[in-house]
Amino acid sequence: MLEEVLKKVANGELSPEDAQKELATFENLGFAKVDHHRKKRQGFPEVIFGEGKEASHIIDISRAMMKKNDNILVTRINSEKAEAVVQVLPNFNYDHISRTLFMKNSEDNVISKGYVAIVCAGTSDLSVAEEAAKTAEAFNVEVRRFYDVGVAGIHRLFAHIDEIREATVSVVIAGMEGALPSVVGGLVSHPIIAVPTSVGYGANFQGLSALLTMLNSCASGISVVNIDNGFGAAYNAVIIQRIADSNKE
């Protein structure tokens, strides 16, 4: 793009002042451009991190996005705050398990050609698992849920292992000892995004235990995101799914 601008200046199509202005926007750095392109190409909704933001703030950002017909996903928003937002913007749907708000604005409904497996150790990890699931779905990626298949009753996992293995990528979520990703990692050959959760007590130390377990996994193909970061894991899964999709066309 720099090339084009310079040519226009040489041709007199653009004055030095105007060229400077244009290059002074993010576009002149060569990478901000991507930002816009990505949204258009991928239909990725903007995602608003709700924690620490006031309802009015979320409403303002949402209104700006509604003008562009983007889908809007708000994560980590509790029910009180969500209610305040929904009263003003009733097109939002609140899901209290995943603690997400979602508004469908885009008409793009092209679903991914494969699916992401969301695998979850216990019922207490449900909130994080659903944050991941809702995130992937907001990006038009198909999700299949495999919940309550923790390692202490490993036969529950085996009952579903074939379907998990067919996924493009798995998001594996576990609290307490966090051993599930290691076991899944030994059974599948696709990438695994592991999510430690803060579920547990005592020597769990708010998720530290599960986090260290996952970082030290002796199974290959596992990478880790922050404690309770269901959104982040799903985002990774989505962009891997896109790699698969983009080539199938």
32 is a contact residue toward its own copies (CB under 8 A):
yes
3-class SS of residue 223: strand
CA distances (Å), origin 88, targets 35, 73, 101:
29, 16, 13
H-only helix segments in the chain: 2-10, 16-24, 32-42, 55-66, 79-88, 126-138, 155-158, 161-165, 180-185, 208-215, 230-248
218 is a contact residue toward its own copies (CB under 8 A):
yes
Q: Could you say which of 74, 85, 151, 167 contacts its own copies (CB under 8 A)? A: 151
Q: How many of the chain's residues bind its own copies (CB under 8 A)?
A: 104
> Segment 104-123, which members bind its own copies (CB under 8 A)?
121-123
Q: CA 141 to CA 124: how far, in whole Å?
A: 24
Q: CA 242 to CA 246: how far, in whole Å?
A: 6
186 is a contact residue toward its own copies (CB under 8 A):
yes
β-bridge mates for residue 172, sequence order: 119, 194
With contacts defined by CB under 8 A, name the span among 5-13, 80-88, 90-98, 140-148 that binds its own copies. Answer: 5-13
> Segment 162-181, which members bind its own copies (CB under 8 A)?
162, 165, 168, 176-179
Q: How far is the CB of 95 from its own copies (least distance, A)?
A: 16
> Segment 41-70, which members bind its own copies (CB under 8 A)?
42, 47, 51-53, 57
30 is a contact residue toward its own copies (CB under 8 A):
yes
